[in-house]
Amino acid sequence: MNSKQNLNGIGMTSQRTRERLLGRLMDQGITSMEVLDVMRTTPRHIFLDEALSHRAYEDVALPIGHNQTISQPYIVARMTEALVKSGSLERVLEIGTGCGYQTAILAQLAKRVFTIERIKPLLDRAKHNLKLLGLRNIEFKHDDGSTGWQGCGPFDAIITTAAPQQIPQDLLDQLADGGRLVIPVGGEDFQELKLIQRDGSDFEERTLDKVRFVPLLMGQVQH
Ligand code: SAH
């Protein structure tokens, strides 16, 4: 397969298969045209191993190795929509790059995206995938992101795609005034997806959904 065919997709990764996924997202209440348009045109299959690429446009999380997953499209849409609808997206911080799918969606809606991943091989794969899509407004960091990206904030939006038991104070501190944090919070079995908006020294919190994410872990992994 040449690289154009690979990006456009054929068979189970074709545009028609993707349109069905878009229909599902709308049925589940996603209304932002900006978010829907970006999800329509972003190939999810390139973020998966070839053996799983035929399932790329099912609305499910799928394994990406290292005990991690690519997020479910509905959850990516829900989190992104929460940020798009609540204010500006000049500087966005993402904790948990994984294979880079959520990063790709954000990078097409935000001016700049800063993304942190603790597992080096996943970060390297994400860099490769995002380069393939020609997205250049992304800064990458191999680190434990539970303390945010010190010295790089404040951020208009922070998105965490792995779940801590409690919201890390550092992430709240790195929000700009009016900034929003979208984050799953809770135990291993399920979590609540929270949207927190900063207003000066006040933080207004809302619960958006019940979700299931991998845990936010400490430290870095090299291999
Ligand atoms: N954003 C991805 C989801 C990846 S799963 C997507 O679009 O599909 C969550 C990722 O968070 C995993 O790759 C995991 O390694 C990473 N992660 C977990 N704890 C972390 C931490 N403290 N700092 C940075 N990344 C972390």
Q: Kindly report the CA angle at 146 between 143 and 149, in degrees rounded to 5?
A: 60
The finding on whether 162 has its CB within 6 A of some atom of ligand 1 is yes
The finding on whether 118 has its CB within 6 A of some atom of ligand 1 is yes
- Using the atom order of ligand 1, give the atom closest to the CA of residue 66: 15
What residues are annotated to the active site?
Answer: 71
Domains and CATH numbers, the chain: 62-211 (3.40.50.150)
pLDDT tens figures, 110-142: 999 999 999 999 999 999 999 999 999 999 999
Query: Residue 128 has which token pair?
Result: 């490769």
* The pTM of the whole model exceeds 0.85: yes
pLDDT > 90 fraction of the chain, expressed in percent and rounded: 89
The finding on whether 170 has its CB within 6 A of some atom of ligand 1 is no
Pocket probe mutation, ligand 1, options 45, 59, 67, 68, max atoms within 8 Å of Cβ: 68
Does the pLDDT of residue 5 top 80, yes or no?
A: no
CA 2 / ligand 1 centre spacing (Å): 30
pLDDT at 4: 53
pLDDT at 25: 98
Sign of torsion over alpha carbons 67, 73, 74, 75? positive
DSSP string, the chain: --HHHHHH--GGGSHHHHHHHHHHHHHTT---HHHHHHHHHS-SGGGS-GGGGGGTTSSS-EEEETTEEEPPHHHHHHHHHHHHHTS--SEEEEE--TTSHHHHHHHTTSSEEEEEESBHHHHHHHHHHHHHTT--SEEEEES-GGG--TTT--EEEEEESSB-SS--HHHHHTEEEEEEEEEEEE-SS-EEEEEEEEETTEEEEEEEEEE--PBP--S-B--
Q: Across-strand partners of 115? A: 94, 140
Q: How far is CA 220 from CA 50, 66, 166, in A?
A: 27, 13, 20
Q: What are phi and psi of 54, to 5 degrees?
A: -70, -15
pLDDT tens figures, 164-208: 999 999 999 999 999 999 999 999 899 999 999 999 999 999 999
Q: Whose CA is nearest to atom 26 of ligand 1?
A: 96
Contact 157, 89 (CB under 8 A): yes
- Pseudo-torsion of CA 132, 136, 142, 145, nearest 10°? -120
Q: Whose CA is nearest to atom 13 of ligand 1?
A: 98
- Using the atom order of ligand 1, give the atom closest to the CA of residue 76: 7
pLDDT tens figures, 54-73: 999 999 999 999 999 999 99
The finding on whether 68 has its CB within 6 A of some atom of ligand 1 is yes
Q: Whose CA is nearest to atom 11 of ligand 1?
A: 96
The finding on whether 61 has its CB within 6 A of some atom of ligand 1 is no
Contact 175, 198 (CB under 8 A): yes
The finding on whether 101 has its CB within 6 A of some atom of ligand 1 is yes
The finding on whether 161 has its CB within 6 A of some atom of ligand 1 is yes
